[in-house]
Amino acid sequence: MKWTNDVVSECCGAVAHEMGDMYVCSECKECCEVYDEEHEMEQLWDYMVKHEIATKDELLLIIKTFGDTLDNLEKVLFCRTGYRDLQQAEEMQNDV
């Protein structure tokens, strides 16, 4: 079994353990689909900088202070825009 920090279960967002060609959620202990949290973080980071929601320096300060997690970046997005995640921000932008 291999422990991975960047593979996250879709069922509840917890880190998943790799077991052969399957993943087991560390929280609910069920086999689940996973996503690459690091990729999602990069997308959110780029979106916030591109749309001037936060500067690179502000985001660096947040991750150095509170940790390099998707949750922390989403907190910045929420504080600045009221949107909970990148998907909601993009949907609302398309509605305008």
CA dihedral (26, 6, 9, 18) positive or negative: negative
Q: What is the dihedral of CA 85, 10, 28, 15, to 10 degrees?
A: -80
User: What DSSP state is assigned to residue 6?
Assistant: E
Q: What does the pLDDT profile of the chain (96 residues) look like in tens digits?
A: 344 445 766 666 677 777 777 777 777 777 777 666 778 889 999 999 999 999 999 999 999 999 888 899 999 999 999 999 999 999 988 876
pTM greater than 0.75:
no
